[in-house]
Amino acid sequence: MALRLSTGLRNGMLGTSAVKTLMQNGVIDVYSGVQPTTADDAENGTKLLRITVASGAFTAGTAANGLNFGTAADGAIAKTSDVWSGVAIATGTAAWFRFYANDMTTGATTTAARFDGSVSTSGAQLNMSSTAVTSGATTTIDSFTFTMPAS
């Protein structure tokens, strides 16, 4: 299954360098339940954890602890060497994620820059060592790469 890009992200994209800029200092929320049909749809399921730099506190509109991508190469950008992690706020099975731009616009919208993907232990857009998330436990994302969709 491919990443699901919001209309706002697709409209702002000219390539991976644009995605890097649009998503600068963003944040990832990981959810249980069924992934929305598009990244324009409102979130559903239970939010299990928020991924930031070193599990640090994130405030929308500020750079502190926001996630960043490295240099674009061959149509892809990967996470920087920063530690991407989060402390679970609920117990459940991770099923999908939403990567939000720094403004962290939630709910149904066609103007926000964000994208969704599936979560699994392999073969997903976000692979974790285990999809079992326990409240209070820390989850670390060792690698994360955004590859430009074909269209």
114, part of any domain: yes
36, part of any domain: yes
Predicted local distance difference test score (pLDDT) of residue 19: 83
Q: What's CA 61's distance to the chain center, in Å?
A: 16
pLDDT at 151 > cutoff 90: no
pLDDT at 22 > cutoff 60: yes
Average pLDDT over the chain reads 91
Give the domain range for residue 102. 4-146
| E strand or H helix that includes residue 102 | none
**Which residues are paired to 140 by β-bridges?**
85
133, part of any domain: yes
88, part of any domain: yes
Predicted local distance difference test score (pLDDT) of residue 16: 63
Band the pLDDT of 17: cuts 50, 70, 90. low
pLDDT at 124 > cutoff 60: yes
**Choice among 15-19, 24-28, 34-38 with the minimum mean pLDDT:** 15-19
Mean pLDDT for 68-87 is: 91
Q: Six-digit token pair at 11?
A: 């409209």
Name which of 112, 113, 102 is nearest 25 in CA terms.
102
- 70 near 19, Cβ under 8 Å? no
Name which of 145, 147, 141, 148 is nearest 55 in CA terms.
141
Which has the higher per-residue pLDDT, 149 or 112?
Answer: 112
151, part of any domain: no
Band the pLDDT of 5: cuts 50, 70, 90. confident
Spatial distance between the Cα atoms of 63 and 12, rounded to a whole number of angstroms:
20
Number of domains in the chain: 1
pTM over 0.85: yes
- DSSP letters, 117-132, are EEEESSSSSEE-S-SE
